[in-house]
């Protein structure tokens, strides 16, 4: 946990002193290059001096990285309490430090065996030597929503089932006011005609669910903004089975729904005065004799028939029914979806940027601005009228795959667009940005990143 006080007290087990080029400290008069870490021991206390380089070249991303590096160093392993003396009291810099600590030190170790001889203190009490401000305590709360999302994405697929996600939502809203909850299980999905959603799940022994939380935090009559998350708790690809090298991380295919949970946690913690909908479309794309098949034609809730060109283009089917159901029954003013939707988005943007698609320039501008402020990065990609021709089917109204090669992220977005029914809409393709493999990237470390949570929380706070 992080707290704040000013001025610095130098009374903790360890003090992390951040120094830009030209800055010195009474206990360390030498300069440090960017990335250098220099420890000074005084009795039982450790002073850890961290070089940040020239301030005019120091990005907030760099600052987060250097803070994470300091906390990952061996010098702080046994410290229970840590005080951070920042190089600047600029609000944006302090928020970056907070995120460097809370996002940077996050680790998924639930299934690691514990070494009884390990003296490392994993949970530290951290104090930043600045005056308390609401934007700082808000930043701490936002990071807790990010951590919830990361926990959900990182855990086993047979743990984070639709039932588990329902319990997560119920636990988040328990005892809270101005909320209502609607849950459609298999029986309700069938009776209401959400057949696209059901088709994706029909080879699974897990219950499909559409979960909708209505949050009435704003004025009566104000429009709702709906946040809709793709929640494929595991995606085999269906009968178009994913190959080795592509299937191993498919527990992350519910990262959109997990991000909606993290956003819900943040909204409740911050008490935002907005009217909002939080929607999780949950299924498992399994294989077996009951699996839906390439070539099938299925009519969903919107009354539009869809030819199945590929069973691995399943997330857009679940989202299509969720869009149609929310539009008809809740009539939101805006819809924003999050989905690990396409490998094509990763080809286009790599792993550090979310793909943003929208039918509204103003909404896209607001989301891009929020992404730049939070370092939860997004880049706008196009949806345009001609794309509709590429997802036409000779035997159905639409096809869930494109008739042309290339532009797969855009044609997938256009498929979703066909179910918005004129509602102002944005789509965040987090296929690349939601997970960091190998040694990790930037300040995330390994595993889920919580993509979309900071971006959308900032969007709600400022629009």
Which domains can be identified in the chain, with CATH numbers? 2-113+123-132 (3.40.220.10), 141-462 (3.40.630.10)
* Calpha distance 434→444 (Å, rounded): 10
Phi, psi of 16 (to 5 degrees): -100, 115
Count of residues making up the chain: 463
Q: Is 84 exposed, middle or buried (0-12, 13-18, 19+ CB in 10 A)?
A: buried
- Of 373, 182, 374, nearest in space to 278 by CA: 182
22 has pLDDT over 70: yes
Q: What integer pLDDT is reported at residue 203 of this predicted model?
A: 98
Q: What is the mean pLDDT of residues 27-34?
A: 84
* Calpha distance 444→351 (Å, rounded): 12
- Neighbour count for residue 74 (Cβ, 10 Å): 9
Q: What integer pLDDT is reported at residue 345 of this predicted model?
A: 98
- Neighbour count for residue 301 (Cβ, 10 Å): 24
Say whether 37 sits in a helix, a strand or coil.
strand
Which pLDDT tens digit goes with each residue over 82-130?
Answer: 999 999 999 999 999 999 999 999 999 999 998 888 888 889 999 999 9
Q: What integer pLDDT is reported at residue 439 of this predicted model?
A: 66
Q: What integer pLDDT is reported at residue 224 of this predicted model?
A: 98
19 has pLDDT over 70: yes
Q: Among residues of the chain, what percentage have pLDDT more than 90?
A: 94
Beta-bridge partners for 299: 305
- Of 156, 379, 317, 122, nearest in space to 250 by CA: 156
Q: What integer pLDDT is reported at residue 13 of this predicted model?
A: 97
Kindly state the DSSP code that residue 62 receives in the 8-state scheme: H
Banded pLDDT at 28 (limits 50, 70, 90): confident
Are the CB atoms for 24 and 31 separated by under 8 Å? yes
* Calpha distance 160→155 (Å, rounded): 7
Q: What integer pLDDT is reported at residue 283 of this predicted model?
A: 98
What does pTM read for this prediction? 0.97
Banded pLDDT at 1 (limits 50, 70, 90): confident
Distances (CA, A) of 386 to 390, 395, 416: 7, 20, 15
Q: What integer pLDDT is reported at residue 121 of this predicted model?
A: 87
Mean pLDDT value across the chain: 96
Q: What integer pLDDT is reported at residue 114 of this predicted model?
A: 86
Say whether 424 sits in a helix, a strand or coil.
strand
- Neighbour count for residue 119 (Cβ, 10 Å): 7
User: Which residues does the annotation mark as catalytic?
Assistant: 242, 316
Torsion of CA 52, 455, 147, 250, to 10 degrees: -110
CA torsion through residues 327, 331, 332, 334, sign: positive
Are the CB atoms for 290 and 202 separated by under 8 Å? yes
Q: Look at strands 275-285 and 209-216 and give their pairing.
A: antiparallel
- Run of H or E including 261: helix 255-270
* Calpha distance 30→32 (Å, rounded): 7
* Calpha distance 237→243 (Å, rounded): 9
* Calpha distance 399→393 (Å, rounded): 5
Angle between helices 315-330 and 408-417 (to 10 degrees): 30
What is 348-408 written as a DSSP string? HHTTS-EEEEES-HHHHHHHHHHHHHHT--EEE----TTHHHHT--SSSSEESS-SSSS-H
Greater confidence, 30 or 448? 448
Residues 6 or more apart whose CB falls under 8 angstroms from that of 131 comprise 4, 5, 6
- Of 368, 463, 457, nearest in space to 140 by CA: 457
CA torsion through residues 97, 108, 446, 173, sign: negative
* Calpha distance 301→352 (Å, rounded): 35
Q: What integer pLDDT is reported at residue 29 of this predicted model?
A: 77
Say whether 95 sits in a helix, a strand or coil.
helix
* Calpha distance 14→5 (Å, rounded): 16
Which pLDDT tens digit goes with each residue over 406-440?
Answer: 999 999 999 999 999 999 999 999 999 999 987 67
* Strand ranges of the sheet holding 398-399, from the earlier edge strand across to the other edge: 297-299, 305-307, 398-399
Q: What integer pLDDT is reported at residue 31 of this predicted model?
A: 79
């Amino acid at each position: 946990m992080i707290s704040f006080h000013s001025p610095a007290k130098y009374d903790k087990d360890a003090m992390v002193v951040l120094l830009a080029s030209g800055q010195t400290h009474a206990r360390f008069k030498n300069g440090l290059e960017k990335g250098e870490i220099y420890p000074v021991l005084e009795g039982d206390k450790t002073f850890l001096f961290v070089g940040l380089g020239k301030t005019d070249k120091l990005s907030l991303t760099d600052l987060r990285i250097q803070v994470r590096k300091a906390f990952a160093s061996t010098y702080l392993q046994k410290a229970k309490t840590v005080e951070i003396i920042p190089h600047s009291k600029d609000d944006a810099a302090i928020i970056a430090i907070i995120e460097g600590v809370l996002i940077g030190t996050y680790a998924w170790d639930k299934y690691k065996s514990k070494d009884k001889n390990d003296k490392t203190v994993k949970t530290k009490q951290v104090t930043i030597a600045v005056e308390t401000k609401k934007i700082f305590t808000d930043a701490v709360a936002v990071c807790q929503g990010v951590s919830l999302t990361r926990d959900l994405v990182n855990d086993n697929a047979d743990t984070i089932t639709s039932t588990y996600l329902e319990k997560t939502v119920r636990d988040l809203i328990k005892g809270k006011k101005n909320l209502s909850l609607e849950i459609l299980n298999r029986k309700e999905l069938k009776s209401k005609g959400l057949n696209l959603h059901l088709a994706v799940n029909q080879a699974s022994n897990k219950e499909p669910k559409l979960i909708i939380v209505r949050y009435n935090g704003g004025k009566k009559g104000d429009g709702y903004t709906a946040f809709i998350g793709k929640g494929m708790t595991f995606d085999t690809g269906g009968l178009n089975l994913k190959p080795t090298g592509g299937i191993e991380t498919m527990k992350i295919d519910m990262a959109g729904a997990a991000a909606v949970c993290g956003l819900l946690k943040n909204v409740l913690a911050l008490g935002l005065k907005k009217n909002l909908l939080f929607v999780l479309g949950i299924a498992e794309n399994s294989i077996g004799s009951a699996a839906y098949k390439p070539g099938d034609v299925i009519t969903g809730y919107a009354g539009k028939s869809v030819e199945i060109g590929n069973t691995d283009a399943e997330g857009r089917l679940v989202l299509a029914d969720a869009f149609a159901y929310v539009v008809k029954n809740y009539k939101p003013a805006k819809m924003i979806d999050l989905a690990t939707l396409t490998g094509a988005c990763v080809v286009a943007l790599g792993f550090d940027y979310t793909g943003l698609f929208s039918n509204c320039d103003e909404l896209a501008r607001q989301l891009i601005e929020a992404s730049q402020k939070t370092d939860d990065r997004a880049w706008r990609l196009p949806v345009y009228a001609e794309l509709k021709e590429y997802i036409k089917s000779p035997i159905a109204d639409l096809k869930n795959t494109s008739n042309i090669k290339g532009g797969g992220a855009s044609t997938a977005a256009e498929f979703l667009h066909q179910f918005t029914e004129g509602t102002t809409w944005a789509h965040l393709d987090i296929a690349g940005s939601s997970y960091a493999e190998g040694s990790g990237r930037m300040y995330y470390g390994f595993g889920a990143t919580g993509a979309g949570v900071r971006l959308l929380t900032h969007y709600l706070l400022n629009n």
